[in-house]
Amino acid sequence: MQISRTAIYIVCWVIALTFFAVTNSLSAFADESGTIKGVVETPWVKRYEALVYIENVKGTEFPPPKENPFMSQKSLVFKPYILPIVKGTTVDFTNNDDVSHNIFSPPGSAKRFNLGIYGVGVTRTVTFDGLGEVTLLCNVHSEMSGFIIVLQNPYFALTDKKGNFEIKNVPAGTYKLKIWHEKLKDASQEVVVEAGKTASVEFKKNELKSR
């Protein structure tokens, strides 16, 4: 059977158009995200980091990570001091000290739990299924404290000592950008993220009130 020349032309055109469409759509997909960059202007950031996060990305469910993040207890200190996670994440509480700990969350926390006393090298886990702030305390060592912040999405960043932050790969859109800080009341700003661009945000000192 002989394939007509016209048919070959048509097939070639279909393949070429399909290839063009696919590559074009892929590159468009890659460019649909942008970056949010900014600063939180408060002297508090020298001592305590601020968490900057997008409050809600509509229409998307963000699965928890496959590997559990950890909240270590080492030298009578929670490490990290602030752990932002996505809702549904299970966190490993590992005692890396030479003494026992009893980690719990006080009233007002988004997740109440009490791990009981556990010894050196032991890991206990907690799944955080509600949004918000979870304060961590140790019943054995009253000076210890830490925070887990449960968020709806993975678009967040902690500030450096100068208050600078950067959130990458944010889908293009308009969002409410919020900050959480243990010493400050929540503050928010609307931010427009455009594909392939960087949006700048400033949380000014006079907008930030003490808790």
Partner 1 sequence: MKRTIFWMLILTVSFSFVEFFPKDAEAIPTFARKYQTSCSTCHIAMPKRNAFGDAFRRLGYRIPGGDETYVKEKPVSLGAEAWKKMWPETIWPGVLPATVPISFYGHQRFIWTEDANAKTTFDAPHELEMLIGGNWGEKISFFGEWLLYEKAFADDRDKLGDLFVQFNDLLGNRPGMLNLKFGKFETGASHGFKDDNRLTPSHPMPYDYTVTGGGTDKSLRTKQAGLELNGIIKSWFEYAFGIVNGNGTTDDNNSDKDLFYRVAYKFGGMGFDGSGGESPEQLVMKDNWRDDSITVGTFGYFGYPSNKSTPDENYRRLGVDLRFQYDRIDLGGAVVFGKDEVVGGKDIKSSSFFVDAQYLFYPWLLGNVRYEAKEFDSTQEDINAVVANVTILQRANLRWNVEYNHYIEDSDGNDTVKANLMFAF
- Using the CB atoms, write b or e for 130-158: b if 16+ within 10 Å: eeebbbbbbeebeebebbbbbbbbbbbbb
Q: Quick one: CA torsion of 88, 60, 39, 188, rounded to 10 degrees?
A: -90
Q: Can residue 74 be called a binding residue for partner 1 (CB under 8 A)? A: no
Residue 210 as a binder of partner 1 (CB under 8 A): the answer is yes
Rounded distance between C-alpha atoms, residue 1 and residue 25, angstroms: 37
The only residue of 35, 68, 135, 188 in contact with partner 1, by rule CB under 8 A: 135
Please tell me whether residue 206 binds partner 1 under the rule CB under 8 A. Answer: no
Residue 77 C-beta: closest distance to partner 1, Å: 11
Q: How far apart are CA 188 and CA 57, in angstroms?
A: 15
Q: Which of 137, 157, 187, 193 binds partner 1 (CB under 8 A)?
A: 137
Among 2, 3, 5, 43, binds partner 1 (CB under 8 A): 43
CB closer to partner 1, 124 vs 141: 141
